[in-house]
Structure 1
Amino acid sequence: MSTPSGAPAVSQIPEAVHRRRWAILVVLMFSLLIVVLDNSILNVAVKTIASPSPTGIGATQSELEWAINSYTLVFAGLLFTAGLLGDRLGRKKVLLFGITLFGIGSALAAMSDSPGQLITWRALMGFGAAFVMPATLAVLMNVFERDEQPKAIGIWAGSVGLGIAIGPITGGLLLEHFWWGSIFLVNVPVVIIALVAMVLLVPDSKDPKPGRLDPLGVVLSIIGLVLLVYGIIRGGELADFTDVSVLLPVIGGLAVLAVFVLHEKRSASPAIDVSYFKKPAFSAAVAAIALVFFALMGVTFFSAFYMQSVRGWSALQSGLLILPLAVAQMLFAPRARIVVARFGARAVCTAGMLAVALGLAAFALFDADTPVWIMCVVFFVQGTGMAHVMPPVTVAVMQALPREKAGSGSAVNNTFRQVGGALGIAVLGSVLSTVYRGDIEGHLGALPAGARDAAGESIEATLAIAEKLGPKGTPLVTAAHDAFMSAMHVTALGSAAVALVGTLVVALWLPGREPAAPRAARDEERPAPAGAER
């Protein structure tokens, strides 16, 4: 039945929930922040963790990589399943479970006395985080009316940028005053506060008609994603994507995911309705998410080495330089909806992707003496671009699905983000490593064969050998810096090219400006209430 023109719109949200929706958003941001922050905070602590006891735990380069990758592997593999369970069991329950598990894993990781323990507890943290991230966005979709969702999603996206930026700063401050485990232990009081706030403020919601469980689809999604992400990570470790240990899991993962899609198309009660991918706007949005994080995470990876190994800045100083990126996201992400309303998602996202590409390409012009203010401008441009890409494409993904399927939609959004980021680090990291090794090998002839191989692995390895040589190692330091700058320039251009592909995708397939519809008409299009409870 149509809502008479001029009549008040029928709210889809219980009044008690509607009144506290902004307080709920703060709690969701708080939960999301510690998950994102903890992933970026570890990057500044790897040198400390690699130090012998009592400073660190003597982790090798491979063990450090797996301390990061164990989290990524479990997190990416379970994202889709976690979102599905949230729709079925209740998003609040899943959120409480995930944040509790994340807190337990954080406490155990802080107390690790061996690399093996750290890797294990990081995997547990990834398990918990997989249930947190999709649930935050799914709850958001069920406490805000459709016309307020773009604003809320913009704020949610801004908190992701904040977490990426303040992670290195927080890590640097903690490492200056406490032991390495403090970067994990700091999560525990934050988790306790978040749990109390969730119990008091966050409503539960779930799909009122979830249908039969699709266990085969769930298993196929986990196996496929884990194999694919493992192969990507392995390729990055070896800097060789033609190795059998890389090709087998990647091909196997893609094959299993293909079977998953076929199964979902034929299932009477699918875990995800794959027909949504036939919508150009939906597919373009998830592709844009993957491509922008592919490009951005690769640059984030090598910029840390540029700032610390070439420029000689501390972890804290390097973290502070990322602040312009976070400030730009916090300023513009919540307001992106206003620009989209005026110019349309296609124009805004195209301009945003071009800004990201421009910021990435600027790294190809950096040298060892580039002024700090120029770097700050570049990071600000990147953040501004991200702020005008992530909220609109996230809105496109989430509003394409019915509200009762918000968990599945959030899981799709975050899965593409995570796989794109992992692929970016692996592929662009491999490019960086390959170009660096090719340039530095000509300067390692005077070293013994064993030391020569080790010194060519990375700029950190070369500088470590040069330090042992004393004054004789000075020319090697210069050569390492030059080789790294050359490799960084090539990698930056590769990142920019990927961002340009993303620009083309959104320019061709995202919808343009839509005429404003009357409020009553928009309400008629809304899906039925998803069972939000007080």
Structure 2
Amino acid sequence: MLVVDNMALNVAIPAMTAELGADAQDVQWILDSYILVFAGLLLTAGSLADRFGRRRVMVIGLAVFGLASLAAALAGDPEQLIGARVLMGVGGALIMPSTLSILITVFDEAERRTAMAAWSVVSMVGLVGGPVLGGVLVAHFWWGAVFLVNVPIVALAVVAAVALMPESRGPWSKPDPLGAVLSVVGMVALVWTIIELPQHGSGTGTLVAAGVAVLALTGFVLWELRAESPMVPLGLFRERNFSGGCFSLALVQIGNGGLLLVVTQYLQFVLGYSALEAGLAFIPMAVAALVFNAVGAVLGRKVGNRVLTAVGLAVMAAGFQVMGSASPVVALALVGAGGGLAMPAAIAALMGAVPARHAGVGSALNDTVQQAGAALGVAVLGSVLSGAFTAAMPADAPGDARRSIGDALGVAARSGDAALAGTARDAFTTAMSTSFTAAAVGALVAAVVALVVLRDRPVAVDSAPVPVNA
């Protein structure tokens, strides 16, 4: 639900903008308000789940997300929609860490790998299905339907959680309010800096946000190291499977974060796909991920997380590298296959190193690393793409046309300059190849990290989850 909603929203933006009278700044806040709140609250939400019960926190998050989705669907102006998106970010932050922490406390070692594979497949299906579902809903109903569809899903999920999921929580510990405040401020400032940097450069606001992020996150680390009952046990990073898994996943998400940004523009601006056709083009990626998740769940028991993660990352690197030189279907299938092998194995290695009493905050750390990597990927690959596009355009091209392919095609359409449109498409293809070469390098580095750092060995669990009667 969380992944589908965010992907479907991208398709709904044109209709939503027209009906609500939203300007470019409103659209930016509609998109960014969710991710800022979501990323900022993840660590705190994971800690709350360990303290008060993982199922309970997830159900509360589902209720908040469902009510906020209803409010978003009925919003009459951009301000109301931004407020609803903020509440959706709160609900999403409460839901996401609980899902993975429930998996690792409910399933034993023999079942956990299959559960992780299913968890990854569902996320991938949501990633690809979001634009398709969004296109269908906007075409047949109105833009608010992309939010309204969440309400029955929330109702079903709450019933399933209460009926099927056992409750669990970690042992009681003292609250850590200072750690919570520092983590929220630091993560919000960090994500804001990453979002703003490619759009506005190193302006005063960006520099201030970066400074706040550095100070708050440094203060958070120093405080957590000396606190009697830290909200986040930073000692987890001394476990090589945890730190190696986090670093590998961060590098992968940097590539994945820019994948949709770049490929959707390529499919629509260069190949002429509609928004719905562009969404459908990602189906091979989802199918490959589904198939190789199943393959990985079987192979993982024989070859271990270390080798499977490295092989999957190498396959992803190959997919990134051929993105600009082969059919996008082939390249996306390779990325999906590699992700299907690597992601569940890396997450299994990472979460296998987390003591059961810290399942919630361990899951939140995993989610935070991936969210930061995805946001950084959009910023980094977006900047690489923009710079490479400008460099590939002729120096005598109009100034607006050298900024982005969207601007270039707009100038070409207004002036009737077909040659400029062709030049812009060629320049974008060149820039895309440069961007995905950078993503391929990141995936290969992640593969090396997996081989060197990860270890296939049982990890002692220092505390079992405390069961609570439903």
Report the Cα offset of residue 480 of structure 1.
2.1
Alignment match, 1:199: 162
* In 1: Cα distance, 2:274 partner to 2:233 partner: 48
1:85-108 superposed Cα distances (whole Å, 9 cap, x missing partner) = 011111122111111111122122
* In 2: Cα distance, 1:475 partner to 1:245 partner: 39
Corresponding residue SS for 1:531? strand
Corresponding residue SS for 1:205? strand
1:105-184 equivalences under 5 Å are: 105-184=68-147
Corresponding residue SS for 1:528? coil
Corresponding residue SS for 2:431? helix
* In 2: Cα distance, 1:236 partner to 1:99 partner: 33
What letter corresponds to residue 123 of structure 2 in structure 1?
V
What letter corresponds to residue 430 of structure 2 in structure 1?
S
Q: Is 1:67 matched up with 2:34?
A: no
1:212-231 equivalences under 5 Å are: 212-231=174-193
What letter corresponds to residue 478 of structure 1 in structure 2?
G
Alignment match, 1:460: 406
Q: Is 1:78 matched up with 2:41?
A: yes
1:321-372 superposed Cα distances (whole Å, 9 cap, x missing partner) = 1111111222222442322222222211111111111111112325xxxxxx
Corresponding residue SS for 2:142? coil
Q: Does the 8 Å CA contact 2:306/2:345 hold for their aligned counterparts?
A: no
What letter corresponds to residue 455 of structure 2 in structure 1?
P
Report the Cα offset of residue 247 of structure 1.
3.0
1:204-248 superposed Cα distances (whole Å, 9 cap, x missing partner) = 2211x221111111111111111111100111322x3x4343233
* In 2: Cα distance, 1:243 partner to 1:499 partner: 31
Alignment match, 1:19: none
Q: Is 1:397 matched up with 2:350?
A: yes
Q: Residues 61 and 308 (structure 1 numbering): CA distance in 2 closer, same or farther, change over 3 Å?
A: farther
Q: Is 1:478 matched up with 2:422?
A: yes
1:114-160 superposed Cα distances (whole Å, 9 cap, x missing partner) = 33332222222111101111111111222212321121111111111
Alignment match, 1:35: 2
Q: Residues 395 and 532 (structure 1 numbering): CA distance in 2 closer, same or farther, change over 3 Å?
A: farther
Structure of higher CA gyration radius? 1
Q: Does the 8 Å CA contact 2:186/2:216 hold for their aligned counterparts?
A: yes
Q: Is 1:506 matched up with 2:450?
A: yes
Alignment match, 2:383: 430
Q: Residues 506 and 97 (structure 1 numbering): CA distance in 2 closer, same or farther, change over 3 Å?
A: same
* In 2: Cα distance, 1:443 partner to 1:501 partner: 38
Q: Does the 8 Å CA contact 1:403/1:530 hold for their aligned counterparts?
A: no
Q: Does the 8 Å CA contact 1:150/1:337 hold for their aligned counterparts?
A: yes
1:65-101 superposed Cα distances (whole Å, 9 cap, x missing partner) = 3322111111111111111001111112211111111
Report the Cα offset of residue 46 of structure 1.
2.6
1:325-344 equivalences under 5 Å are: 325-344=285-304
Q: CA RMSD in A?
A: 2.0
What letter corresponds to residue 94 of structure 1 in structure 2?
V
Q: Residues 438 and 58 (structure 1 numbering): CA distance in 2 closer, same or farther, change over 3 Å?
A: farther
Question: TM-score, normalization: structure 1?
Answer: 0.84
What letter corresponds to residue 439 of structure 2 in structure 1?
S
Q: Residues 462 and 116 (structure 1 numbering): CA distance in 2 closer, same or farther, change over 3 Å?
A: farther
What letter corresponds to residue 280 of structure 1 in structure 2?
R
Q: Is 1:530 matched up with 2:466?
A: yes
1:42-61 equivalences under 5 Å are: 42-50=9-17, 52-53=18-19, 57-61=20-24
1:257-406 equivalences under 5 Å are: 257-366=217-326, 374-406=327-359
Q: Residues 60 and 463 (structure 1 numbering): CA distance in 2 closer, same or farther, change over 3 Å?
A: farther
Q: Residues 475 and 349 (structure 1 numbering): CA distance in 2 closer, same or farther, change over 3 Å?
A: same
* In 1: Cα distance, 2:466 partner to 2:338 partner: 34
What letter corresponds to residue 441 of structure 2 in structure 1?
A
Of 229, 232, 236, 2:198 maps to 236
What letter corresponds to residue 214 of structure 2 in structure 1?
L
* In 2: Cα distance, 1:273 partner to 1:415 partner: 14
Q: Residues 113 and 425 (structure 1 numbering): CA distance in 2 closer, same or farther, change over 3 Å?
A: same
Q: Bigger CA drift: 189-198 or 247-256? A: 247-256
What letter corresponds to residue 423 of structure 1 in structure 2?
L
Q: Does the 8 Å CA contact 1:205/1:531 hold for their aligned counterparts?
A: yes
Q: Bigger CA drift: 101-110 or 413-422? A: 101-110
Alignment match, 2:366: 413
Q: Is 1:99 matched up with 2:62?
A: yes
1:26-67 superposed Cα distances (whole Å, 9 cap, x missing partner) = xxxxxxxx11111111222233333x33xxx34333432332
Report the Cα offset of residue 532 of structure 1.
4.1
Q: Does the 8 Å CA contact 1:364/1:493 hold for their aligned counterparts?
A: no
Report the Cα offset of residue 379 of structure 1.
1.3
Aligned residues: 470
Corresponding residue SS for 1:212? coil
1:387-422 superposed Cα distances (whole Å, 9 cap, x missing partner) = 111111211222212212110111011000100000
* In 2: Cα distance, 1:48 partner to 1:495 partner: 32
Provide structure 2 residue ranges, at least 5 long, that are not aligned to the other structure. none
Provide structure 1 residue ranges, at least 5 long, that are not aligned to the other structure. 1-33, 367-373, 446-451
1:233-269 superposed Cα distances (whole Å, 9 cap, x missing partner) = 111322x3x4343233224313321221111111111
Q: Does the 8 Å CA contact 2:246/2:366 hold for their aligned counterparts?
A: yes
| Percent pairwise identity | 38
Q: Does the 8 Å CA contact 1:235/1:427 hold for their aligned counterparts?
A: no
Question: TM-score, normalization: structure 2?
Answer: 0.95
